[in-house]
Amino acid sequence: MEKAVEDGVNVLSLSIGGSLSDYYRDTVAIGAFSAAAQGILVSCSAGNGGPDSGSLSNVAPWITTVGAGTLDRDFPAFVSLGNEKKYRGISLYRGTSLSSGLLPLVYARNASTSSSGELCSPESLIPAKVAGKIVVCDRGGTPRVQKSLVVKKAGGLGMILANTDTYGEELVADAYLLPTAAVGQKAGDAIKSYIASGSNPTATIALGDTELDVQPSPVVASFSSRGPNLITPEILKPDLIAPGVNILAGWTGAVGPTGLPEDKRRVTFNIISGTSMSCPHVSGLAALVKAAHPEWSPAAIKSALMTTSYTTYKTGETIKDIATGNPATPFDYGAGHVDPVAALDPGLVYDAAVEDYLSFLCALNYTTNQIKQTTHRDFTCDSSKKYSLGDLNYPSFAVPLETASGKRGGSGASTTVKYTRTLTNVGTPATYKVSLSSQTPSVKITVEPESLSFSQAYEKKTYTVTFVASSSPSGTTSFGRLEWSDGKHTVGSPIAFSWE
């Protein structure tokens, strides 16, 4: 990262992640701080630890943290059973198709030497029980593509990869080594119960043509790492989502599309899924915004990408989470799904500079030594100043609240939290009015002032948000939204409340 700074890059794209640690121990956060201080935007993957909550990495506020959504493109495959039922799945296999007609079908658990035989781990299948058959393997435990190699080595002719409840209906396309359809949990369960109920189960797999304009799209990928931010709950992460499922991506000639040594195919492009794919989308869009507005800071560019993101479909419904089938929340998508064109003209931005991040570290009660480890700067916090995490000029709001306990516990006790923000005008002179929405009546939100008038470019105006919250049970979360609009631009910020 230091070398890239030296080379004069404008954007750093890091599709890597790791475990969570304090910023002064986090190498990516440390490298990103020095880059941001030089005016370089750093975009990082949120991680592939979803759908578990608090599974994020790369949460420093000077990093743009990117989760993953789907595209409106599909690579369908179809499973037809002997009972005339048909199920839709997904596959990138494009080799020799299965001969027409139905083939014997077996569940790997019933054809294995292993106690977890359904996972089709290497060497776990009994060739005599799978030869000439289509094998149903459960997703999980070992790489998806490796399972197809295990089935092939044991003499199987095809594979149905069935999602378990961990993966729900999320389908990820892979270049399997034999005819394969990956199916969602509902289809997988139906296929397995058909095998269990019949004496001679049969099936076949057919591969469809690429489909476009698949809806709903985007949905939040099940694997996309989720908030809340366990290191600093006052900073909402991820920041936003971008396309990260079944992405057409350049590929090395050194290995086959599966990466397995037995895979002798060679391709220049592959289809890949992960927040490693969504991060570079945002890096490229940041470069686009930087080209249009070379004088903007990394924080201003990130703000433009965040405040113009969308959280609903054209129907007005909230973006869905494929892990649950329910509406997703800011802990899943942050400010929303990136909107490339809108980001070029955000109207207002939440700007921040090195001094703001130093104050943030002071608010975390970092020692002079810890600040130096994080920033490579000698800086001592001003003991006469009251630093607040709620005052970092961030484009989103996360409000951790304490569940009342003890004598004054009860629902009567309320907490007041104030966050201050400053907006910079990057559009034409205009007056912006605030609007608020919240899911919960237990938090009253007020903004002061309710209207901001800008008469020139780069003029700054400050406002304060006051949250008055009554107590809720520990573990409760709720969400809201704060928007400034001049009739042409909408500057949107998600709000996340969590009671501990």
Confidence class of residue 19 from pLDDT cuts 50, 70 and 90? Answer: confident
| Residue at 369 is within a domain | no
132 and 235 assigned to the same domain: no
| Residue at 28 is within a domain | yes
Phi-psi region of 101 (alpha: psi -120 to 50; beta: other; left: phi over 0): left
CA separation for the pair 194, 201 (Å, rounded): 7
| Residue at 388 is within a domain | no
| Residue at 358 is within a domain | no
Residue 104 is part of which domain span? 76-207
pLDDT average, residue stretch 455-471: 96
Q: What is the pLDDT of residue 18?
A: 79
223 and 338 assigned to the same domain: yes
| Residue at 2 is within a domain | yes
Domain end marker among 327, 344, 361: 344
97 and 197 assigned to the same domain: yes
Q: What is the pLDDT of residue 100?
A: 80
- The CA-atom distances, in angstroms, between 293 and each of 39, 183, 306, 354, 430 are 13, 45, 16, 20, 20
65 and 184 assigned to the same domain: no
CA 151 and chain centroid, separation: 32
Query: What is the token pair recorded at 408?
Result: 């004054």
Is pLDDT at 410 greater than 70 in this prediction? no
Domain end marker among 175, 207, 239: 207
Query: What is the token pair recorded at 20?
Result: 């969570």
Is pLDDT at 412 greater than 90 in this prediction? no
142 and 107 assigned to the same domain: yes
| Residue at 323 is within a domain | yes
Does residue 49 contact residue 318 with C-beta atoms inside 8 Å? no
Is pLDDT at 411 greater than 70 in this prediction? no
Confidence class of residue 413 from pLDDT cuts 50, 70 and 90? Answer: confident
Confidence class of residue 404 from pLDDT cuts 50, 70 and 90? Answer: confident
The overall longest dimension of the chain from CA atoms, in Å, is: 81
118 and 154 assigned to the same domain: yes
80 and 63 assigned to the same domain: no
487 and 458 assigned to the same domain: yes
Domain end marker among 173, 207, 241: 207
- For 141-200, how does the pLDDT look when each residue is reduced to its tens digit (9 = 90+)? 999 999 999 999 999 999 999 999 888 899 999 999 999 999 999 999 999 999 999 889
Is pLDDT at 408 greater than 80 in this prediction? no
Provide the percentage of residues in the chain whose pLDDT is more than 70. 98
240 and 179 assigned to the same domain: no
251: domain CATH number? 3.40.50.200
Is pLDDT at 500 greater than 90 in this prediction? no
| Residue at 363 is within a domain | no
430: domain CATH number? 2.60.40.2310
Q: Which alpha helices (DSSP H) does 210-353 contain, by range?
A: 275-292, 298-307, 330-333
- Which of 86-100, 379-393, 399-413 has the weakest average pLDDT? 399-413
Q: What is the pLDDT of residue 407?
A: 41
Is pLDDT at 57 greater than 70 in this prediction? yes
190 and 237 assigned to the same domain: no
pLDDT average, residue stretch 320-324: 93
Is pLDDT at 406 greater than 50 in this prediction? no
98: domain CATH number? 3.50.30.30
Name the domain count of the chain.
3
Average pLDDT of the chain?
A: 95
| Residue at 372 is within a domain | no
Q: What is the pLDDT of residue 373?
A: 97
232 and 296 assigned to the same domain: yes
Nearest to 493 by CA among 461, 465, 469, 455: 465
Is pLDDT at 283 greater than 80 in this prediction? yes
- Which of 93-107, 300-314, 366-380 has the weakest average pLDDT? 93-107
pLDDT average, residue stretch 66-72: 97
89 and 127 assigned to the same domain: yes
Query: What is the token pair recorded at 226?
Result: 């989720």
